[in-house]
Structure 1
Amino acid sequence: MGSSSKVEMNEVKEDERPHVLVVDDNVVDRRITERLFTNSAWKVTTAKSAHKALELLSQGKGAHANINYQGPKIDLIVTDYCMPGMTGYEFLKRVKESPDTKGIPEIVVSSDNIPTLIEKCLKKGAQDFILKPLKQSDVNNIKSRD
């Protein structure tokens, strides 16, 4: 009986972990970001494109559907800025325009240190703009803001 109680306690703890959606077209960057968040006790869902992330947020209705997110609670979205098909900025706009997802904090990451690009993302509602490579200290700082 004692070991079954431990399993239940672990399941509860896992359900209480914050949940991040990581969006990046580069598999290496996506895996590094996933590992950094996992190391900080986050649940991680990944998407290889903004279109795939929108599909996740719209429950598989396609990227052109209105976002009507009813899945597991997402506490944060971390998106790369430079992606083919739809930039991180365009994705940010779509997320912030939807009443269902506009409250999810979004962080844009990029290797481009261009002040106008950073300002544009922050004005559109990004919580932060972090230069790549993302580091463990960046993730730890994100967690401490919550």
Structure 2
Amino acid sequence: MEYYEEDVPHVLAVDDNLIDRKLVEQLLKSSSCRVTTAENGMRALEYLGLRENHQQSNANSNGSKVNMIITDYCMPGMTGYELLQKIKESSILKEVPVIIMSSENIPTRINECLEKGAQTFMLKPLKLSDVKKLRHQLTKSGS
């Protein structure tokens, strides 16, 4: 049976580390997700159509809907926390679940992200079991 792109959850993976980004991409693809990657927060905002100098009315420049965003916490320029804030401030994207991942287990940081609206916080490196949990959340949320 063929399935169309719309039936496959679309995940935006943001990480400044190429190896981590590739790992997340492979794990998501093996769980039947369509993946777009960005190497930093600014690129992610650009992809989502949320750059300061753009109108917020266009959901994103290329019109593809993102069902979930998974981002590293520690990135140069813009942290995953700052990216999370920008997404949650957007009237269009605030409902999109954002997963924060970090190699550091710092409870205050985790709580800060969850309070700002992160769906969940995961420790790196991500494992297939983590991604399967995320995939389950995606299908459960009716996306």
Query: TM-score, normalising length from structure 1?
Result: 0.87
- Give the number of aligned pairs: 134
Counterpart of 2:22?
Answer: 31
Q: Does 1:106 align with 2:98?
A: yes
Q: In structure 1, list runs of 5 or more residues that go unmatched.
A: 1-8
The structure that is helix-richer by fraction is: 1
* Superposed CA RMSD: 1.4
Q: Does 1:47 align with 2:38?
A: yes
Q: Is structure 2 residue 48 aligned with structure 1 residue 19?
A: no
- Residue in 1 aligned with 2:85? 93
Cα distance in structure 1, aligned partners of 2:111 and 2:91: 23
Equivalent residue runs for 1:126-141 within 5 Å: 126-141=118-133
2:51 aligned residue: 63
Given the two structures, how large is their TM-score scaled by the length of structure 2? 0.89
Q: Deviations over 1:64-116 (max 9, x none)?
A: 23544242111100000000000000000000000011010000000010000
- Higher RCO (Cα < 8 Å, 6 or more apart): 2
Structure of higher CA gyration radius: 1
Specify the SS of the correspondent of 1:20.
Answer: strand
Gaps of 5+ in 2: none
- Identical-residue share of aligned pairs (%): 51
1:84 match: 76
